[in-house]
Chains A and B, each alone.
Chain A
Amino acid sequence: MDDRHRLTRRSFTMLGTAAFLAPITAAAQPAPGAGDFIGFADFAARCRELSGFDPLPRTLLTRLANRMPEGDRRAVAQRDPIPEPLRKRVLKALYTGVYEPGDGEDGESVRIGYPDALMYAAVDDSINVPTYCGGLPGYWEQKPVLS
């Protein structure tokens, strides 16, 4: 493992609210009207494993689940290896907040999350989500204080 992999893992405090999150237990209890299918808990667990984030933002996860075709959703929830194209689509949706339809799937790319996209959580102790205020005027002059 090179230096780039040796960074300290941080606790995930996206937007600073626990209610925003889907921890292991919460993920097993889908949000009302969302992600309500058999195997959601397995789906969520696989997404946590793939993404490196535990817990995951509940809204992001359920929007992804609801957006995916049934077959793809089941493929993620099962313990079999996930086809590479599907794995990348799932990761891009979770990390960038944009779901891209797969081959043969109708529709265009759609946003399923923005400030809760995991890529922003990966740097949330040092870089703010664009369009949201980063701090007091001139804060950028200093190095960030890392968690």
Chain B
Amino acid sequence: MTTTLPQSPELCVIGAGVAGALVAKRAAEAGMRVTILDCGPRLDRAEMLERFRQAANQSLMAPYPVVEHAPQPGMPRTDDYLVQKGPDPYDQQYIRAVGGTTWHWGAATWRFIPNDMRIKSLYGVGRDWPIGYDEIEPWYYQAELELGVAGPDDAPFDGPRSQPYPLPAAPLSYLDQVFKNNAEQLGEVVIPAPQARNHSQIWDGRPPCCGNANCMPLCPIGAQYSGNMTVEKAEAAGAELITNAVVHFLEVGDDGRIVAARYLTPQAEEFRIEAERFVLAANGIEGPKIMLMSTQDNAPEGVGNSSDMVGRNLMDHPGSGSRWYSAEPVWPGRGPMILSGLVSMRDGDFRRTTAARKLQPSNFNIVGWVTPEAIDEGLTGEALREQVRYRSTHRMILWGLHEQLPDPSNRIVPSTDKLTDKLGIPRPEIHYRVDDYTWASIREAHRFAERLAELYGADEVEHDTGFSGNNHIMGATIMGEDPGDSVVDGDCRTHDHPNLWISSSSTFPSGSSVNSTLTIAALAVRMADKIVRQARPQ
């Protein structure tokens, strides 16, 4: 039996991460009746901190509860939930709970640069955005205010700005200062990373960072932004939040409008909620999955899928890693985990053949990584103690985020093997391959790391042989002007359904080489403005 909820809001937002929360908050503040559905529970920071400290495996997912009705990819293996069909793994973590994946992020809030949105026109690869940077720039600033972003003034290779960052840039750690000096000797540009974190002042009720060195998987003190903060503001403005509501189907009316969303409770009871408008903000994998599961007479290929593009063009920023020992100590682990970025490889004519990249030194505490290595080598006693100390203070790690082009064969579909979760909902099945455009960039990063390591006095450099996932899930409801080969228009509204918008990095036609959250947030506040204008015409 399906129960229809009595309320019929003006806006139903599916997903209470940063992408949904910003739309809900702004709509509620404008006086709209808003209901938010989230598949998971509310989370408590103190409980999660304690769970992390007690965990034997302090992984990226260690603080987060296992929620059987809303499973999420594990760590380090994601195939306990994601069905990996290859040929390459699409190892992504995300959190299905109120606040979403910004609970475990590094708070990196980079803007795209204008050329990121015109790579087809400029370099003959990928896709252009149907909107230009100028159109999104004011919304970037609005998003930076919402998240409380700290960043540098007039930094080269940062997105052009009409107003300064809301907060001053974070001071660079000693490690980052050494990195900057060395990279600049090689002619590159390093700038402080824009971050949604307070560093020297209270902002928006958040305390200043005191260097807990645990931005990922959980900021213990709430100095950095997480989506639950905006959810709470949305609720304060009057939005209703329904937790543990696992949306699995969107109903399409005869006129093409979305009529209702159906969800299951943890006990598998089905409810439906009717609304005037819907925003799907359920994550870059779960969102397309819901759309593809919603096959019906009025949408035989699924919701929004007349183009057959839903689920396709899945992208990430495949990650590279290089390591060496500095002759002098650099003390990784003092302060926030990422503080700077090498940005001069973000753009250039090389993008015709080779992906853009952003390189960043790791300021992660690595004590727990180097210690088992030293023990496995057979060290004991004083020699072990000194090696742990040496390795923990001298090891440099350089990570790279590499652009990936949209490829329709990289896709997520509901499991074709009928693999389901506890509620009987199909698990996401991933088909994914990283092509040579990206691999060429990874090789460039390795070569650069070797030149850089020489300046540290390093004897040798180790490189990751593969690539790592960066949890930047993009592309699977791609934005474009042509309804024949895209899912949403420049306003992130679906071509097929006039009252359905998608708030997610899944709308990105290109991924740039920088973290995706600020662009998600900018598109979300821009979307909210358009929805409010439609609902409340002046």
Contacts and interface: CB of A to CB of B under 8 A. Distances in A.
Interface of A: 4-5, 7, 9, 49-53, 84, 87-88, 91-92, 95-96, 98, 108-111, 114, 118-120, 122-123, 126-128, 130-144
A53 B388 CA distance: 12
Given A120-B367, A144-B331, A131 B393 contact: no
Interface in B303-325: none
Nearest to B392: A123
A95 B371 contact: yes
Contacts of B444: none
Chain B residues touching A, range? 35 or more
B365 interface: yes
B58 to A, nearest CB: 8
Contact of A140 (B174, B221, B376, B393): B174
A53 to B, nearest CB: 7
Interface hub of A53, A84, A108, A119 (most chain B Cβ within 10 A): A119
B103 to A, nearest CB: 14
B424 interface: no
Given A91-B380, A126-B334, A127-B334, A138 B171 contact: yes
B49 interface: yes
A141 B174 contact: yes
Contacts of B530: none
Nearest to A140: B335
Given A50-B380, A111-B56, A127-B331, A95 B173 contact: no
B212 A123 contact: no
Nearest to B331: A126
A25 to B, nearest CB: 21
A87 B378 CA distance: 9
Contacts of B44: none
Given A139-B334, A143-B174, A144-B334, A130 B365 contact: yes
10 contacts: A5-B386, A119-B392, A123-B388, A131-B53, A133-B211, A137-B198, A138-B200, A139-B210, A141-B177, A141-B335
B526 to A, nearest CB: 33
B385 interface: yes
Contact of B333 (A51, A114, A127): A127
Closest 9 pairs (CB-CB, A-B): A140-B335, A134-B211, A52-B385, A141-B171, A133-B210, A140-B334, A137-B208, A109-B56, A119-B371
Contact of A139 (B53, B177, B211, B221): B211
Interface in B363-382: 363, 365, 367-368, 371-372, 375-376, 378, 380-382
Interface in B184-243: 198-200, 208-214, 218, 220-221
A142 to B, nearest CB: 7
Given A88-B376, A91-B380, A92-B372, A141 B172 contact: yes
Contacts of B329: 126
Given A127-B392, A140-B173, A144-B334, 4 more contacts: A95-B384, A109-B56, A131-B52, A134-B210
